[in-house]
């Protein structure tokens, strides 16, 4: 894979009190009398032992319980925000993160920008997002130019694991998602955000300037008589929470799986996912009861190229309850018709939104946790360098 490297230009500053409390501010939390909870609950399930791929099936692995010695986490890319522009439109109640420019040439492999570090500009709630790829003139480009984009909060932990919290992620099939106005994801001005994005070059003509536009809709604290209930995104991956998220997809049928338990009790209100070509099924199962929480078949063309995954919305049915005393397994199945491993490899991820009741204590982030440090290092580190001319001049 090609990677793009840039010089660090500016330094972001955050109050010392926030750094000492791991991003958990002592003031009262917004929304429906909630006790203070971390801001961006986005659990991703953990894996300490990499799953062994067996043609036809893979046994699920549960997170290892033995804690390893504390370590020093990698340095954050403070000041590296030169590929991020934030546009806030108060009249439309939107915050737009513009990522780029990136030059995409047909002979390139996947292009990843160096991980950027920026922040959120409001006190309030996020209610939805829209994703688009555009050129330098603002004209739309093919959505398939985006491989994926991920927003990560380095100051709070996940739902299923002790790693940095995934706030938001989108893949080529992700266009837009909105939650009802009665619920929202609580944020505070100054919340730090890491942004990673990968682009897929076009098959023919070069694109000199490609920009990713991620636009969030929001409401502000104090502007409504009834404040939204706090909901939080969470994330689970079949590869767990360390090392790479991609894996080999051999010829024929195969499966990957991981299982673990959430840190707190809550109600899942929506679910979506991300897979690669030749995926045939993505599931979330309550292993303790045998109940299927979610089972979806990706939208694919006749050749097995994945075009998207339908989103399951359970806003008005009170969602599906998950509890720390149950074990949950994420599974992804592939059927590769080629006599060789699938060129794009495999991915299997589920993202959702969870409602956590007031008064429930959330585990604090431990920066010395080895899993947090390993995951953050993997997230920040480019796996293969590329020439700097991938950036448009």
Cβ proximity of 62 and 48 under 8 Å: no
Provide the pairing of β-strand 111-112 with 183-187: unpaired
b/e string for 96-111 if b means 16 or more Cβ within 10 A?
bbbbbbbbbeeebebb
Instruction: Give the three-state DSSP class for 315.
Output: helix
CA distance readout (Å), 354 to 120, 215, 217: 21, 21, 19
Whole-angstrom distance, CA of residue 219 vs CA of residue 153: 20
Whole-angstrom distance, CA of residue 283 vs CA of residue 298: 11
pLDDT at residue 318, as a whole number: 83
The CA angle 138-215-121, to the nearest 5 degrees, is 120
Cβ proximity of 321 and 331 under 8 Å: no
Q: What does the domain layout of the chain look like in residue ranges?
A: 2-390
The CA angle 360-361-367, to the nearest 5 degrees, is 150
Q: Which tokens hold the place of 119?
A: 């922040």
pLDDT at residue 67, as a whole number: 61
pLDDT at residue 242, as a whole number: 64
Neighbouring-strand partners of residue 259: 62, 329
First vs last C-alpha separation in the chain: 21
Is the C-alpha dihedral spanning 365, 366, 369, 374 positive or negative? positive
CA distance readout (Å), 163 to 73, 146, 246, 275, 323: 11, 25, 18, 21, 19
Whole-angstrom distance, CA of residue 278 vs CA of residue 325: 34
Q: What is the mean pLDDT of each run of 10 residues along the chain (393 residues)?
A: 32 31 33 31 26 30 57 91 96 97 90 95 94 94 90 92 88 78 91 95 91 96 87 90 81 96 94 92 97 94 88 86 96 96 92 86 86 90 50 37
Predicted model pTM = 0.75
């Amino acid at each position: 894979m090609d990677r793009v490297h840039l010089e660090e230009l500016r330094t972001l500053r955050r109050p010392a009190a926030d750094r000492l409390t791991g991003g958990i501010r002592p003031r009262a939390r917004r929304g429906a009398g909630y006790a203070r909870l971390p801001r961006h609950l986005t659990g991703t399930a953990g894996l300490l032992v990499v799953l062994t791929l067996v043609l036809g099936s893979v046994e699920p692995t549960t997170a290892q319980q033995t804690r390893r010695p504390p370590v020093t986490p990698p340095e954050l890319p403070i000041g590296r925000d030169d590929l991020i522009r934030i546009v806030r439109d108060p009249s439309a109640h939107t915050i737009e993160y513009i990522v780029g420019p990136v030059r995409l040439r047909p002979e390139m492999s996947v292009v990843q920008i160096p991980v950027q570090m920026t922040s959120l500009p409001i006190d309030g709630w996020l209610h939805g997002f829209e994703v688009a790829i555009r050129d330098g003139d603002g004209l739309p480009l093919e959505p398939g130019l985006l491989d994926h984009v991920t927003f990560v909060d380095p100051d709070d932990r996940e739902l299923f694991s002790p790693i940095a919290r995934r706030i938001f992620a989108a893949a080529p099939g992700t266009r837009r998602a909105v939650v009802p106005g009665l619920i929202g994801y609580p944020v505070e001005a100054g919340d730090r955000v890491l942004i990673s994005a990968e682009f897929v070059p076009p098959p023919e003509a070069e694109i000199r300037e490609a920009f990713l536009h991620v636009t969030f809709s929001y409401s502000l604290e104090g502007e409504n008589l009834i404040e939204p209930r706090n909901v939080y995104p969470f994330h689970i991956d079949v590869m767990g929470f360390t090392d790479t998220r991609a894996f080999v997809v051999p010829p024929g049928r195969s499966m990957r799986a991981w299982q673990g338990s959430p840190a707190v009790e809550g109600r899942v209100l929506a679910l979506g996912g991300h897979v690669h070509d030749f995926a045939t099924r993505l599931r979330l199962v309550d292993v303790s009861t045998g109940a299927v929480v979610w089972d979806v078949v990706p939208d694919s063309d006749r050749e097995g190229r994945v075009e998207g995954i339908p989103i399951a919305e359970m806003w008005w049915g009170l969602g599906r309850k998950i509890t720390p005393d149950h074990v949950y397994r994420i599974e992804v199945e592939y059927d590769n018709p080629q006599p060789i491993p699938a060129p794009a490899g495999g991915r299997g991820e589920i993202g959702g939104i969870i409602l956590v009741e007031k008064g429930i204590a959330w585990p604090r982030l431990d920066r010395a946790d080895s899993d947090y440090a390993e995951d953050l290092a993997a997230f920040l580190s480019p796996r293969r360098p590329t020439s700097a001319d991938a950036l448009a001049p």
